Structure formats: structure tokens, C-alpha cells
Amino acid sequence: MSDLKTLLQDRRAATGLLILTVLCAIGVLAPFIAPADPVVQHDVLRTRFLPPFTTGPEGNLYLLGTDRFGRDLLSRLVYGARISLAVGLLSVTVSVALGTAIGLVSAYFGGAVERALMAVTDATLAMPRIVLLLALITLWEPSVVLVVLVLGFTGWMGIARLTRAEVKGLMGRPFVDAARAAGMGDLRLIGRHLLPNALTPVLVAAALGVGNAIMLEAGLSFLGLGVPPPSPSWGNMIAGGRDALVNAPWIATFPGILVVLAVVGCNLLGDGARDALDPKTR
């Protein structure tokens, strides 16, 4: 609890948290906020490519205009928040679980296990992530779950290295030796002492990772390999807007602004948390 207080005293962390909370709230409350159904299209020839602030043929206001199928852009953005944020959060959860497990095991057991795991980590880190993503994503039918898993399984390396460094630093400390001398088993030692003490930098990296994952999800959707239509995600909305860039520039502009906002929120939270929770600067 005191950690949360320290965190909120940092202006950047508080701003980041505020941005993310608002975006998440929009996603969760989408059915109550969205003025229209995000997938329904009306008389397409009369409602498509309507610029922002126009009134449709039915007398309803399209606040941010419509896309090429005459669907309300604002409603799609609101529902898109659900998918884009969920993909970001869930994929980083996968990365964190995998990364902390690998980092913990290699630091705790050391020796050949550590060398092998770190060699794999470094080699995977040397691959451009987009190569891995492109190769993996084409293996199965596109779906939201696939995007989450693929992003999760290509983003754990930094967290594994971080966890390993943290735990190695802890291993030499007296309280770990004391706990072991008192007869604590491997699992309890890891769960009670090592993991909680190594968690702060991992959570900071996770916050930054969420931003990156949101950006990559949008990138995959942009290449047509991400969230399949008709579900709106900010990425496939940008892709759809690119085709109509000359006539309807607003379609690609708005979802991009939301991606930037979400990423900025994550980076503010991560940067702020690093400084606020770092024992060296406290």
C-alpha cells in the first residue's frame, strides 16, 4: 500500500496511471459509452466516408465520422479499446510469467542450466521480433488469442534477463543464507523471499512492455495478420483508413492518436515507477 502511495506521488506515474485507467474504463464500459453499434452499417452509399461532426441520413450525429462501410468511427474506437488494451495486458502477462520463470530458474540453479537458458535468451533477443512474429503468426488461423500468445512468447527475453540479474544479486545476501540455514526449501525460498524482492524492476519492465505490445498488435493488424475483422482493433482501423487516406484522412488518424496515448501512458507509468520505487533514489 505504501508503495502505491510513493508511486502516486511521482507526477509521471500518476499521469500514466490516470491515462491508462481512463482508457481501460472506456474499454470496459464500451456498451454504455458507444453511441452506436460498432459493426452495424446503414445505407452504405449515403453513410460511408462521412467526415467528423456530420449528421447522418437518420438524423444521428457521427461525432468522429464514419469508415468506408458507414460504421460509426467513435463507437469502433471505443470497442477497439477493449481489444487493443486486453491484447497488450494479457500478452505481457504471458511474457512476465515466462520471463520470471526462466530468469528465476537460471539464477537459482546456476551452472549448466543457467548457461543454456541464457544462451537461448540471448539468441532469441538477437532475432528481430518482427521476424519471429511473422513466422509464428502465419502458423495458425488469425484470432485474438493467437495474437496474445504470439506476442507473449516473443517478449519474455528482457524480463528473463532482468529477473536473473535481480535474483543473482539477492542470492548472495545474508537473509537468503539465513532462510536456507533455517531449513527453508527451494520452492518456499523462491516464493517467499526471492520473487517478491525481485518483482519491482520486473513490473516496471512489464509496464513498458504493455505499451510495446499495444504498438505491435496494431502493427500486426496493420499487416493483416492481427485481430481479424469485423472486430474493431485500433490497428486494423488504421489499416482500413490507409486505403482511404486521400478522401477520409480521419479514419487512420484517430485510432493512431489512441495508440500513442496508450503507449505514452504505459511509458509514463513505467518511467515514473522506476524512479519512485527504486530504493537507490528513495
Partner 1 sequence: MLRQLGRRLALGLGIVLFVVTVTFILVSIAPGDPARLWVAPGAGQAELDAARHALGLDRPLPVRYVTWLFNFGRGDWGVSLVQQRPVMRVIADALPHTLLLTAASLLLTYTGGIVVGVIQAMRHRTAVDTGLTVTTLIIYGMPAYWLAIMLVLVFSYAAARFGWPAWIRFPALGVTSLDAEFLSPWGRIVDRARHLTLPLITLGAIGIAGTARFVRGAVLDVRDLPFVRTARAKGMSLLAVESRHILRNALLPIITLLGLSLPALFSGTVFVEVIFAWPGMGRVMVDAVGGRDYPIVMATTAIFAVLVVLGNLLADLLYAVADPRVARNGHE
Give whichever of 105 and 215 is closer to partner 1, judged by the CB atom: 215
Tell me, residue by residue from 187 to 216, as one string, x for binding to partner 1 by CB under 8 A and - for no binding: ------------------------x---x-
Query: At closest approach, how far in Å is the CB of 230 from partner 1?
Result: 21
Site for partner 1 in 229-248 (CB under 8 A): 238, 241-242, 245-246
Asked whether position 112 contacts partner 1 by CB under 8 A, the answer is no
Q: Is residue 134 within the footprint of partner 1 (CB under 8 A)?
A: yes
Interface residue with partner 1 among 79, 108, 156, 222 (CB under 8 A) is 222
- 128 near partner 1 (CB under 8 A): yes
From the list 46-54, 77-85, 130-138, 162-170, the region that binds partner 1 by CB under 8 A is 130-138
Which residue, 92 or 190, is less far from partner 1 as judged by CB? Answer: 92
Using the rule CB under 8 A, is 256 a contact of partner 1?
yes
53: left (phi > 0), else alpha (psi -120 to 50), else beta? left
Rule CB under 8 A: is residue 123 a binding residue for partner 1? yes
Taking CB under 8 A as the rule, does residue 126 contact partner 1? yes
Q: Closer to partner 1 at the Cβ: 36 or 251?
A: 251
CA-nearest of 184, 224, 232, 180 to 34 is 232
- Which lies closer to partner 1 via its Cβ, residue 45 or residue 139? 139
Residues in contact with partner 1 by CB under 8 A are: 119-120, 122-123, 125-131, 134-136, 138-139, 211, 215, 218-219, 222-223, 238, 241-242, 245-246, 249, 252-253, 256, 259-261, 263-264, 267-268
